[in-house]
Amino acid sequence: MLEVTELHTYYGFSHILHGVSLTVNREQVLAVLGRNGVGKTTLVHSIISFAKPAGGRIKLEGHDITGFPAHQIVRRGIALVPQGRRVFRSLSVLENLTIPFRCRTEGTSRSWDIESAFDAFPTLRARRDQRAGNLSGGEQQMLAMARALVSNPKVLLLDEPSEGLAPLIVRELSDVIKELAQQGMAVLLIEQNFNMALRTAQRILVMSRGQIVHRSSPQELAENQEIKARYLGM
């Protein structure tokens, strides 16, 4: 579904991504784990075109979308739940869900609209007319998810969705993400939370200094003490 090959991204003169390649298939959650500052957000930003990659290719369903403006990439079916949530603070909850572009859905995957997003996150329905800036952290995370979903994406990019959430809410979030994948979405889950990645993903990549240094199933990674110690500080 989403295919990234040999991505190189710079901020000014600092070389952040050193040839990152990955593929996310539909009905799959692919997690990327890594410590702070290794380039996870830069990877997501390169895919959604906030940062312009200097080299490499990004393909969505076989079509090259490298270098497209962000809004066109989104309109082709990639949605982002960014690090730090970034809900539109001065808009009401309902307005946050009204403005995203709605992609057409074909066939198999579940189709989303504002009502079904409210069904999935009932708290948001109760707060529909409140300013998003006044929501709690957990509610803002739900809103950021709902905002991504109402655009009916084929690929969902999640950048540290568990950051700052209580363990119970992280669990719920993990279940929601798994369900989304089961319903046909391709999910790229960026995490620092090892357990969250472990219980959510089918495959895990470990990132260090702008490179993927390990690829395996969650079980293999859980048993690989060396990788965990070296790259994840565990």
Partner 1 sequence: MEFWIIQSLNALSFAMLLFLLCAGLSLIFGLMNILNLAHGSCYLVGAYTALSVIAWSDNFFLGLVSGSVAAGAVGFVLQRFLLQRIYGRRLLQVLLTFGCMFILGDLAIIIWGADPTTLRKPEGLTGAVDLGGIIFPKYRLFVIAVGITIGIALWLFQEKTKWGAILRAGVDDEQMARAVGINVPALFTVVFILGTALTGLSGVLGGPFVGVYPGVDLEVLLLAVVVIIVGGLGSMKGAFFGSLIVASLDNFGKALFPELAMFTIFAPMAIILAVKPTGLWGRVL
Question: How is residue 64 written in tokens?
Answer: 């090259």
Least distance CB 115 / partner 1 (angstroms): 17
Query: Which position among 91, 198, 222, 232 is part of the footprint of partner 1 (CB under 8 A)?
Result: 91
Q: Does 89 bind partner 1 (CB under 8 A)?
A: yes
Q: Which is nearer to partner 1, 147 or 214 (CB)?
A: 147
Whole-angstrom distance, CA of residue 119 vs CA of residue 124: 9
Residue nearest to Mg ion (CB): 41
Give residue for tokens 């957990």: 138
In DSSP notation, 44-80 reads HHHHTTSS--SEEEEEETTEE-TT--HHHHHHTTEEE
Q: Which is nearer to Mg ion, 17 or 114 (CB)?
A: 17
Is 233 a binder of ligand ADP (CB under 6 A)? no
Site string for partner 1, 142-161 (x = CB under 8 A): -----x---x----------
What is the Cα gyration radius of the chain?
17
Of the listed pieces 29-37, 102-110, 147-155, 175-183, which binds ligand ADP according to CB under 6 A?
Answer: 29-37
Nearest distance in Å: CB 41, partner 1:
12
197 binds ligand ADP (CB under 6 A): no
42 binds Mg ion (CB under 5 A): no
Reading the block at residue 91, the tokens are 């808009």
DSSP 224: -
Concatenating the DSSP letter of every residue in 133-193 gives GGS-HHHHHHHHHHHHHTT--SEEEEESTTTT--HHHHHHHHHHHHHHHHTT-EEEEEES-
Q: Which does 151 bind (CB under 5 to 8 A by kind): ligand ADP, Mg ion, partner 1, none?
A: partner 1
Nearer to partner 1, 39 or 153 (CB): 153
What is residue 209's three-state secondary structure?
coil
CB 131 within 8 A of CB 139: no
Nearest distance in Å: CB 189, partner 1:
17
Q: What angle do CA 1, 74, 147 make, to 5 degrees?
A: 105
Show the site string, 71-100: x = touches Mg ion by CB under 5 A, - = not: ------------x-----------------
Question: Under the rule (CB under 5 A), what is the footprint of Mg ion?
Answer: 40-41, 83
Question: Under the rule (CB under 6 A), what is the footprint of ligand ADP?
Answer: 11, 16, 34, 36-42
